[in-house]
């Protein structure tokens, strides 16, 4: 019977539902009078007005139910919101029908209490009929699941995310998955059930439950799960042949909708994420809302994300400034609307960036345009100087000339005690901003952070590519360590730093725990389903030109000052000397004919802590 109904067309199903409701409306009105008079056939049934009232009752109540959207629900998915719709519809239908009968004969012979009884009966039979059909439909679906070769699965997280995921799986048999239980660390939930599926225990008993039930898939349905929680779960099932998938982070779940299709494999980024930084969204909103904001390097990993983050806070206009036409083309496909314009230009050309700032008159500038690849900049130091130093100087000067309110420089932890050209030029970019801050109305702020997960040229995409090819995975040194953060977190930090109103200072994020690159490589091999040493080898290639064994957050002689955000610090760096501007002009006057040794000496004279490393060759790229 259920199968027959489900195979009908939508129009045929609607006719059946309406016919059922019409019969229920008529039967409930009759039954209400039987209950009111305490008789199977009360005297009122013989009155002509009662017979006239029946079609009037059906018409008025049916119309009220229709306009209460009762017929937009799908019966086999009936739930509490559908019952509320029925109650709302009945609560409108009964008074309207009472008024209709009053117009017809002034309610002569009709007890008013019968309409109250009718209200209860309608809710019970209209709502109950829908839930009975859902129960039968669920039973039919469960029986039909026996025809499928189902994978046995558990869901970690008996909360909202787990319930929504279970519902999607239950109503999509073709997924080939059967949920055998929930796992939740809230011990108060153990022994209870969610939508008929039991909560079997907490994660401490996870391995035992997996082996006992012969589970082949594990779904982590906790969008707010931290990287430490995910690592703990993986550690508890190490050695078991079970596929693990997770839902996206809570910010990535579209409109709060959670579906099976959103499940994905655990990525290295899930294990490297840090405890989220608490941001003052009101401060950021006040900083951005209603203002014109220009972002240089808008086509890069950081610049593009800053553009996306800025648009969330309703600026008057976003101006994306980028040298690469391909990057601008890709960004325009992602960001559309009247709030954003994109300009192709070069920060190394004073007239290019100057004309853009003069034309659009931004109140805030985020300077993200930079060369960041350490080994390549060792080979091309003049390019690093022209982009990272001259580009910053050009953008800063244009900002001052056009009375920009705030200039935020995106810097790097490699600017601390640099051992490479890239880090040294970024330190010089910080010094350029500090030297200009004291003599301009424009406020300059510099923000440093570490390696960004998944950005172009970073280690994780490289490892993924090497693993996909069967190895080997190349690591420069067994003891090298790095700090990591996600692109969105880095860009949110940039916005927060800009909003704090602290001018002329370098701001640094508490980067959390550093990560050993060798451990990261081993973890990524394991996540891909391989074994290190058996399926895929790791090769050590040696540190590349300009690389350090570890990155630093502060210099030893830098004073650290806590800001209003407990994860953001101010680094009290040394101020520039009186002849700094003259020496910067000498630096940027160097050209491609200058010997590399002379370039390095000039950089070292400006940044004494710069200690160039011996040039080495390596095939590995981090």
Query: Which residues are known catalytic residues?
Result: 414
Short-list 365, 360, 370, CA closest to 407: 365
Element (H, E) at 89: helix 80-105
CA dist list (Å): 85 to 72, 123, 413, 486: 10, 10, 57, 43
Q: Under DSSP, is residue 364 helix (H, G, I), strand (E, B) or coil? A: strand
Assess contact for 303 and 487: CB atoms under 8 A.
no
Cα(622)–Cα(609) distance, rounded to whole angstroms?
Answer: 23
Collapse the DSSP code of 352 into the 3-class scheme (helix H, G, I; strand E, B; otherwise coil) and give the result.
Answer: helix
Distance CA 460, CA 456 (A): 9
Alpha helices in 227-273 (DSSP H): 227-236, 268-272
Q: Strands of 167-250 (E only): list them.
A: 177-183, 193-194, 197-201, 217-220, 243-246
Q: What are phi and psi of 597, to 5 degrees?
A: -60, -40
The burial of 608, by beta-carbon neighbours within 10 Å (0-12 exposed, 13-18 middle, 19 or more buried), is given as exposed
Tokens linked to 467? 């693993």
DSSP assignment letter at 444: E
Taking alpha carbons only, the member of 299, 296, 353 closest to residue 325 is 299
Tokens of 512: 């959390």
| Helix or strand holding residue 464 (H, E) | helix 459-468
């Amino acid at each position: 019977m259920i199968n027959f109904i489900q195979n009908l067309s939508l129009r045929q199903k609607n006719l059946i539902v309406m016919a059922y409701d019409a019969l229920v409306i008529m039967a409930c009105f009759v039954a209400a009078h039987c209950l009111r008079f305490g008789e199977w056939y009360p005297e009122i049934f013989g009155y002509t007005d009662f017979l006239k009232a029946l079609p009037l009752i059906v018409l008025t109540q049916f119309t009220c139910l229709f306009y209460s959207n009762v017929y937009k629900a799908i019966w086999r998915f009936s739930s509490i919101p559908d019952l509320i719709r029925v109650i709302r519809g009945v609560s409108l239908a009964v008074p309207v029908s009472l008024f209709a009968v009053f117009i017809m004969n002034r309610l002569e012979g009709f007890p008013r209490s019968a309409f109250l009884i009718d209200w209860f009966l309608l809710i019970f039979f209209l709502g109950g009929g829908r839930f009975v059909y859902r129960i039968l439909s669920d039973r039919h679906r469960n029986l039909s699941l026996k025809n499928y070769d189902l994978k046995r699965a558990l869901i970690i997280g008996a909360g909202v995310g787990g319930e929504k995921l279970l519902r999607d799986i239950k109503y999509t048999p073709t997924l080939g998955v059967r949920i055998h239980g929930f796992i939740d660390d809230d011990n108060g939930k153990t022994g209870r059930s969610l939508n008929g599926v039991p909560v079997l225990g907490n994660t401490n008993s996870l391995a035992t439950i997996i082996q006992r039930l012969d589970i082949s898939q594990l779904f982590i349905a906790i969008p707010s799960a931290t990287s430490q929680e995910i690592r703990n779960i993986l550690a508890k099932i190490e050695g078991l042949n079970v596929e693990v998938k997770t839902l996206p982070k809570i910010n990535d779940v579209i409109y709060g909708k959670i579906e099976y299709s959103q499940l994905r494999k655990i990525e290295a980024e899930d294990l490297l994420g840090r405890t989220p930084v608490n941001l003052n969204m009101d401060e950021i909103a006040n900083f951005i809302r209603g203002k014109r904001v220009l972002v240089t390097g808008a086509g890069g990993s950081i610049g593009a994300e800053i553009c996306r983050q800025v648009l969330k806070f309703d600026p008057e206009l976003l101006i994306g400034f980028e040298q690469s036409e391909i990057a601008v083309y890709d960004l325009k496909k992602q960001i559309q609307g009247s709030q954003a314009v994109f300009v192709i230009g070069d920060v190394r050309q004073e007239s290019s960036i100057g004309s853009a700032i003069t034309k659009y008159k931004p109140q805030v500038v985020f300077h993200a345009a930079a060369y960041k690849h350490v080994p390549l900049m060792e080979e091309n130091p003049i390019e690093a100087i022209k982009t990272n130093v001259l580009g910053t100087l050009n953008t800063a000067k244009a900002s001052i000339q056009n009375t920009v309110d705030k200039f935020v420089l995106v810097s790097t932890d490699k600017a601390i005690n640099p051992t490479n050209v890239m880090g040294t030029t970024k330190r010089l970019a910080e010094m350029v901003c500090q030297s200009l801050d004291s003599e301009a109305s424009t406020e300059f702020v510099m923000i440093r952070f570490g390696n960004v997960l998944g950005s172009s040229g970073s280690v994780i995409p490289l490892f993924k590519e090497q693993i996909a090819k069967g190895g080997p995975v190349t690591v420069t040194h067994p003891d090298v360590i790095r700090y990591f953060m996600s692109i969105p977190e880095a860009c949110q930090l940039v916005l927060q730093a800009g909003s704090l109103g602290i001018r002329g200072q370098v701001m640094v994020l508490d980067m959390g725990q550093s990560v050993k690159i060798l451990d990261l490589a081993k973890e990524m091999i394991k996540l891909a389903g391989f074994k290190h040493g058996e399926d895929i080898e790791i090769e050590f290639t040696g540190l590349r030109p300009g690389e350090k064994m570890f990155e630093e957050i502060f210099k030893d002689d830098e004073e650290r000052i806590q800001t209003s955000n407990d994860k953001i610090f101010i680094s009290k760096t040394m101020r520039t000397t009186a002849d700094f501007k003259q020496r910067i002009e000498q630096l940027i006057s160097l050209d491609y004919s200058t010997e590399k040794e002379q370039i390095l000496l000039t950089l070292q004279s400006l940044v004494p802590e710069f200690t160039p490393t011996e040039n080495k060759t390596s095939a590995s790229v981090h």
